Amino acid sequence: MKRRLVVITEIIAPYRIPVFNALAGREEIDLHVIFLAETDSSMRQWRIYSDEIRFSYEVLPSWRTRLGRYNILVNHNVGSALSDAHPDVILCGGYNYLASWQAVRWAKRNHVPFLLWSESTGSDRRSQHALVESLKQTFLRNCDGFVVPGKSAREYVQQMGAADQNVFVAPNAVDIAVFGNSESARARAPRLRGELGLPDRYFLYVGRLVKEKGLLDLLAAYQQLTPELREQVGLVIAGDGPLRADLEALARSIFPGAIHFAGFVHRDELVNYYSLAECLVFPTYTDTWGMVVNEAMACGLPVICTTVAGCAADLVKTGGRVVAPGDVPQMSFAMQEIACDSSLRERMAHDNRSLIRKFSPEACAAGIANAAMAETTLHV
């Protein structure tokens, strides 16, 4: 029986569009997506790839501001949008916006199964405030099921009291067709390096330039490499944020070495940066997943990732190294090991390309559909 699934999620994120397209293409699902905003320009500079959207959706009127480190988003017409959508099941992406609480109340009043799409993990530093944890427990008690991207998130919701049979895995995914097209970039390597100002060999970081991403550790780890290796292998940082000026000042003190700040790079151009790199380094202190790891693996890159990243337990296996957050010597050793062994890099690249096929938009869509169709969602 076809089910009307309404998804509530914050913004039109590029990596979610292929997932929703795949979900809308499933015979058992009648999909409608409610976005709380088109984008969040205070946090992201993503393009809105509206021409790629192949599913029914709407964007609610909203008002957004920042209060210290908190992102405040208020929406109008949440209840009426849900009433107009006539859901059989609601899937809500997160619990940190007022609209999420409005949606769960609407679901309870109208006896509609309510699923939480949660990426939170026990290692996420944002999940350690007592008041936040109390509110989260209250929200979770009102959910009929849970959709999680992997092992760490599954363990977390189970620790919070979710029954095993009510937790469904929908692996986080990027568009492998986009990021898997690395051979084209490698064929144009000399020209691309010249156009983009890239070193012949380099480690790569992709993401926001903020303290919690561990970028000071990354520069320290790069500085601890032997001078001979730093002369051969540079470091490219793709992203922007408030820490950029401090990082650039620190980078100027590292010699020998080549550290290139690319600024924010949009999705389609990112493929070139991944394809020409030797390894992605993701030194984060707190990250519910880390989609850049998916992107890098699809491009055939080895990965160095900290243990706290939500993706580490599922993705970083034989194709990379997992290090403790803040452990600069361990990170530097992993960088040196990968940079100095071309056969190791080739094996890691092969393993990552093979593994990431299981983390496709179609696999994510199948997990969501399984949750929407499950009998447990009827017990409201």
- Both 163 and 304 in a single domain? no
The pLDDT tens digits of the residues spanning 195-210 come to 999 999 999 999 999 9
- Whether 65 and 41 have beta carbons less than 8 Å apart is answered as no
Instruction: Give the residue from 231, 235, 226 showing the smallest Cα distance to 204.
Output: 235
Both 373 and 280 in one domain: the answer is no
Say if pTM beats, i.e. exceeds, 0.85. yes
pLDDT in the model for residue 125:
60
- pLDDT tier, 153 (very low <50, low <70, confident <90, very high otherwise): very high
Nearest CA among 240, 253, 257, 242 for reference residue 332: 257
Do 70 and 181 fall into the same domain?
no
Q: Are residues 11 and 158 in the same domain?
A: yes
Does the bond joining 171 to the residue before it have cis omega, within 30 degrees of 0? no
Domain identity same for 200 and 239:
yes
The CATH number for 17's domain is: 3.40.50.2000
How do beta strands 89-93 and 303-306 pair? unpaired
Same domain as 201, residue 253: yes
- 231/374 same-domain check: no
More confident residue, 125 or 308: 308
Shared-domain flag, residues 282 and 373: no
Reading phi first (left if > 0) and then psi (alpha if -120 to 50, else beta), residue 257 is in: left
Output the average pLDDT for the chain.
94
Among residues 362, 367, 365, 352, which one has the least CA distance to residue 314?
Answer: 352
pLDDT beyond 70 at 251 = yes
Residues 370 and 349 in one domain: no
The total number of structural domains in the chain stands at 2
Angle at 277 between CA 271 and CA 281, to 5 degrees: 100
Tell me, yes or no, whether 305 and 366 share the same domain. no
Q: Please indicate whether residue 178 or residue 71 has the higher confidence score (pLDDT).
A: 178
Q: Which whole number is the average pLDDT over 100-119?
A: 97
In a shared domain, residues 278 and 366: no
User: Lowest-confidence range among 30-34, 326-330, 375-379?
Assistant: 375-379
199 within 8 A of 260, measured Cβ to Cβ: yes
Task: Assess whether 295 and 345 both reside in one domain.
Answer: yes
pLDDT at residue 376, as a whole number: 47
Percent of the chain scoring above 70 in pLDDT = 97
What pLDDT, in 10s, does the model give residues 326-352? Answer: 999 999 999 999 999 999 999 999 999
Domain enclosing residue 228, as ranges = 176-356
Q: Which of 39-43, 71-75, 147-151 has the lowest mean pLDDT?
A: 39-43
Torsion of CA 30, 35, 39, 43, to 10 degrees: -110
Q: Is 30 helix (H, G, I), strand (E, B) or coil?
A: strand
* Tens digit of each residue's pLDDT (9 = 90 or more) over 129-138: 777 778 888 9
**Mean pLDDT value of segment 229-238:** 98
**What span, in angstroms and rounded, lies between the C-alpha atoms of 250 and 169?**
41
